[in-house]
Amino acid sequence: MNKVLGNKKAIAVYVLPGLILYTCFLIAPVVWSFYYTLYDGSPGIKWNFCGPDNYLRLFSDKNFMKSLLVNCKYILVVMAGQIILGLAMALMFHFWLKRFKSFVRTIVFFPVVLPIVAVAQLFTKIYEIQPHYGLLNSILAGVGLENLVQPWLGQAKTAFGSLCAMDIWTSIGFYAIIFYGALLDVSSDIVEAARIDGARAFQLLRYILLPLIRPIMVVCLVFSFTGTVKMFESALTLTNGGPSGATKSLSLYMYTIAFTYSKVGYASVIALVVFALCVIGSFFIRKLDKDITR
Amino acid sequence: MKKKIAAMILSTAMTASLLAGCGGNDAGSTQESDSAATEAASQTEVEPEAEETDDTAQEEAGEEPAAPAETRTIKILSMWPEDDAESTANGSIIMAMLQQYQAEENPDFTWEYEYVDSDNLKTKVTTLAASDDLPDFFAYDAGTSLLELIEADLVLDVTQALTDLGVYDSLDEGAKTYLANLTGTDSIYDLPLGLNIEGFWYNKALFEQAGIDGAPATWKEMLEDCDKLLAAGIQPIATGAGDSWPATRLLHAYAIRLMGADCMEQAAAGTLAYDSEGFVQAAQMIQDMNTAGYFGVGATTVDQNTAADMVMNGEAAMLYNGSWYTSSLNADTNPAGEDGIGFFSVPAVEGGKGTVTEYPMNCGTILCLSKASYDDSVAGFLKYFVTHVGDYSMNEFGALKGYAVNEYPEDVGGYTKMVADEMNKVTGTGNWFEALMTSELSTVVQENVQSLMNGDMSAEEYCEQMKDTYELTKPN
């Protein structure tokens, strides 16, 4: 095997097909996208060379800054929610739940397989206020918290939180199952030894379990980051970026610019920013990974 | 050496399987997504001569096409489901026209009807335009959006085509003038699919229940009626502000009564600032009405269909809507019955320039034709469509679509008659709020209107953002 892999021609033969496909379907569109950034309008309709104008516009575009902020906030909130609650759920499966383990795991994992459009429809009904109260407002009204009944998706101050709650609910099962797998791998001897040494629940988590599942934690961070940085489908289907752009992510803004405003060039600049955001995020996660490996 | 050969064979097999995999997926997805497309493709393969003839005809577009001797599959991109008899009925009407044309005039005629929802319509058309693959007929937004396609020489000059076919008179005169004014062109480049006036619809039983006798004549009276309705425990107005546009229509309604029906034309031309006192007052009015609870709780989350149903169901007393609403009102499923809903024009604002006989008007979402693919096959159906659609939509749905109606049915629905009576009162028309706005400005006014209603944004801020966006994006 070493002999084959040491042969440069053999490597070329193995790598080339994949490389060609990767170049055609990934690198070429990125380069093409860069070319688009130098034009104004939409190909085939109004398509004029505009030089660096699209890049300059980025710095004076308040909506872009707002979308960037929304996207960053979303990454932080949803990542934290997915990881922390996913881990909490896994700990519950492993240490607390004695009966119906499989059933509960299935129920928690169930939202992961639902299409996001269906989930958005479900949550639209949950958050509903007119013509009839949805589940959330009904519960609030039922327990005497009438003052908390509000149009959750219709006002800027609550729409973002409502969207994050939906996305965390949808994906929490996925992270719970990964963390649960990691916890199963932790030797029971170590946990028992720690307990004999007098470690309490928090100390056990902080000094024994977390260090042992750190590699899995990094994997989950990567998954969570890549999932949240592209923030699109859920925001589109639940709130369509509104109200007043409170849930408009960079991807959604890019989509509006390209297809509503017919400015593909400027949208391509925003696409490059999303690309840069991915590169920066991946860099930090890789750095964290390296630190752990050391 | 043997290992090298083995490696070569393996990698070749891998590449082949990958490519085969890609090819297989493509074929599969095409078949799954649109079996009609496959059918169309096969038809093109079998009939290369027909295609050639089409191309020749295509080059000669503009000249009078002959009788529909040549036939190919016509593509229609629509934003109405094929069976939408209880909403605008446009999908049902287009389908009926296609079927009738096939049955009566051209048995070989075939079509592909593709539905795309209104939110994605512009995206789809823009993408198809960019790839030079516009369908023969496609639904699109009238006004500024269409102007972009006209300037890019992508859509058919409908005036020219219908004149060549000798059927230009089949279009309603009012619709022709209206569409030409919207794009600011001499010719029209689109077919109307509605001739609507807008105003307030009210549930008569709820008005009676609250002790209100008759429709209000002034905006002030309307607000007083709202108070009476609230006192009677009835939600005064349902607004589909979740869809945003119904809320901007309300703002527009107040603005045209305050500043005159041509205020939006003036604003688009730059002679009336978007942050002028009149617009600020209109924005403030919408906010105040929501704060007073006239639109009910959580008005910004309700879509227009739900709002329309609420008025018919007696869950709210008033609704601002266009006369396309008659399709729902005339339906047997209307719980308010044949005479339960009334209509009144946007009430006058004291001291305002607008009068109650000036109506906001529109021609619905329009139907355009691709210039590049216009040929005898399209011309044949186009001729049939414009000469038959007026009568058909009036007879079947009691709806005016912007075409000449030769025979009115005897038992025309009460609501249709009500709209026809209102149309006779028209002395002036205005567009809808976003008709002359750029896409950017249109998006900004719609995105912000919910925050305006909720009080997250002041009326001044709302108008200031309109003005800023207008300044940034106004055409040179």
Q: Outline where DSSP puts E strands in A32-143.
A: 39-42, 46-49
* B4 contacts in chain A (CB < 8 Å): 7, 9-10
Q: Are residues B277 and B315 in the same domain?
A: yes
**CATH for A254:** 1.10.3720.10
| B13-22, B208-217, B248-257: range with lowest mean pLDDT | B13-22
- Please give the share of chain B, as a percent, with pLDDT higher than 70: 84
Q: Are residues B245 and B367 in the same domain?
A: no
A256 touches chain B (CB under 8 A): yes
Q: Are residues B324 and B444 in the same domain?
A: yes
Q: Are residues B356 and B434 in the same domain?
A: yes
Q: Are residues B236 and B308 in the same domain?
A: yes
In DSSP terms, which residues pair with B362 in a beta bridge?
A: B196
More confident residue, B70 or A188: A188
Polymer length in residues for chain A: 294
Tens of pLDDT, residues B263-293? 998 999 999 999 999 999 999 999 999 999 9
Question: What is the domain range of residue B292?
Answer: 198-361+423-473
Q: Are B237 and B316 in contact (CB under 8 A)?
A: yes
Q: Are residues B243 and B342 in the same domain?
A: yes
Residue B417: per-residue pLDDT: 83
Give dist(CA B84, CA A160) in Å, integer.
Answer: 34
Residue B31: per-residue pLDDT: 34
Question: Mean pLDDT, to the nearest integer, of B448-458?
Answer: 91
Polymer length in residues for chain B: 476
* B20 contacts in chain A (CB < 8 Å): none
Residue B237: per-residue pLDDT: 96
State the nearest Cα–Cα gap between B91 and chain A, in angstroms.
Answer: 24
Residue A11: per-residue pLDDT: 85
Residue B51: per-residue pLDDT: 38
Q: Which are the contacts of A195, defined by CB distance < 8 A and separation ≥ 6?
A: A204
Q: Report pTM.
A: 0.75
Question: Mean pLDDT, to the nearest integer, of B142-166?
Answer: 89
Residue B320 in any domain: the answer is yes
Residue B348: per-residue pLDDT: 95
Residue A39 in any domain: the answer is no
Domain count, chain A: 1
Q: Is the pLDDT of residue B342 over 70?
A: yes
Q: Are B429 and B260 in contact (CB under 8 A)?
A: no
Alpha-carbon torsion (B360, B361, B364, B367), positive or negative? negative
Give dist(CA A201, CA B118) in Å, integer.
Answer: 54
Q: Are residues B112 and B126 in the same domain?
A: yes
Residue A183 in any domain: the answer is yes
Q: Are residues B216 and B295 in the same domain?
A: yes
Q: Which are the contacts of B412, defined by CB distance < 8 A and separation ≥ 6?
A: B394, B398, B420
Q: Which of B376, B405, B434 is a domain's end point?
A: B405
Residue A225 in any domain: the answer is yes
Residue B44 in any domain: the answer is no
Residue A12: per-residue pLDDT: 86
Give dist(CA B386, CA A15) in Å, integer.
Answer: 60
Instruction: Supply the DSSP symbol for A243.
Output: S
Residue B7 in any domain: the answer is no
Residue A38 in any domain: the answer is no
Using alpha carbons, list the distances in angstroms from residue B17 to A5, A23, A269.
Answer: 22, 18, 36
State the nearest Cα–Cα gap between A162 and chain B, in angstroms.
Answer: 13
Give dist(CA B270, CA B5) in Å, integer.
Answer: 75
Residue B254: per-residue pLDDT: 96
* A264 contacts in chain B (CB < 8 Å): 130
Give me the residues of chain A with pLDDT under 70, please.
1-5, 292-294
Q: Is the pLDDT of residue B18 over 80?
A: no
Give dist(CA B87, CA B330) in Å, integer.
Answer: 10
State the DSSP string of B29-44.
HHHHH-HHHHHHHHHH
Q: Which of B405, B431, B465 is a domain's end point?
A: B405
Question: What is the domain range of residue A184?
Answer: 62-115+158-293
Structure tokens at B117: 């929802």
- Chain B interface, Cβ < 8 Å to A: 3-4, 7-8, 11, 14-15, 18, 119, 122-123, 126-127, 129-132, 148-149, 151-152, 154, 241-242, 244, 296-302, 306, 310, 315, 439-440, 443, 447-448, 450-451, 454, 456-457
Question: Mean pLDDT, to the nearest integer, of B46-57?
Answer: 39
Q: Are A174 and A89 in contact (CB under 8 A)?
A: no
Residue B107 in any domain: the answer is yes
Residue A91 in any domain: the answer is yes
Q: Are B209 and B202 in contact (CB under 8 A)?
A: no
| B74-88, B97-111, B211-225, B233-247: range with lowest mean pLDDT | B74-88
More confident residue, B226 or B71: B226
Instruction: Supply the DSSP symbol for B117.
Output: -
Residue of A nearest to B10 (CA): A14
The most distant pair of C-alpha atoms in chain B lies apart, rounded to whole Å, by: 100
**CATH for B236:** 3.40.190.10
Q: Is the pLDDT of residue B200 over 70?
A: yes
Residue of B nearest to A245 (CA): B447
Residue of A nearest to B22 (CA): A21
Give dist(CA A285, CA A222) in Å, integer.
Answer: 7
State the DSSP string of B177-189.
HHHHHHHT-SS--
In DSSP terms, which residues pair with B428 in a beta bridge?
A: B358
Q: Are residues B147 and B278 in the same domain?
A: no
A125 touches chain B (CB under 8 A): no
Q: Are residues B137 and B228 in the same domain?
A: no
Give dist(CA B23, CA B21) in Å, integer.
Answer: 5
A81 touches chain B (CB under 8 A): no
Residue A230: per-residue pLDDT: 86
Give dist(CA A100, CA B149) in Å, integer.
Answer: 61
Instruction: Supply the DSSP symbol for B64.
Output: P
Question: Mean pLDDT, to the nearest integer, of B9-31?
Answer: 43
Tens of pLDDT, residues B287-338? 999 999 999 988 888 889 899 999 999 999 999 999 888 878 888 888 988 8
A130:B14 CB<8 A: no
Residue of A nearest to B315 (CA): A131
Residue A123 in any domain: the answer is no
Residue A36 in any domain: the answer is no
A128:B301 CB<8 A: yes
Mean pLDDT, all residues of chain B: 83
Residue B309 in any domain: the answer is yes
Q: Are residues B453 and B375 in the same domain?
A: no
Residue of A nearest to B124 (CA): A259
A151:B130 CB<8 A: no
Domain count, chain B: 2
Q: Is the pLDDT of residue B183 over 60?
A: yes
State the nearest Cα–Cα gap between B323 and chain A, in angstroms.
Answer: 23
B14:A17 CB<8 A: yes
Tens of pLDDT, residues B232-251? 999 999 999 988 999 999 99
A242 touches chain B (CB under 8 A): yes
Q: What is the β-pairing status of strands B366-369 and B196-203?
A: unpaired
* A17 contacts in chain B (CB < 8 Å): 11, 14-15, 18
Residue A164 in any domain: the answer is yes
Q: Is the pLDDT of residue B361 over 60?
A: yes
Q: Are residues B169 and B209 in the same domain?
A: no
Residue type, A273: V
Q: What is the β-pairing status of strands B73-78 and A39-42?
A: unpaired
Residue B437 in any domain: the answer is yes
| A56-70, B4-18, B143-157, B401-415: range with lowest mean pLDDT | B4-18
Residue B12: per-residue pLDDT: 54
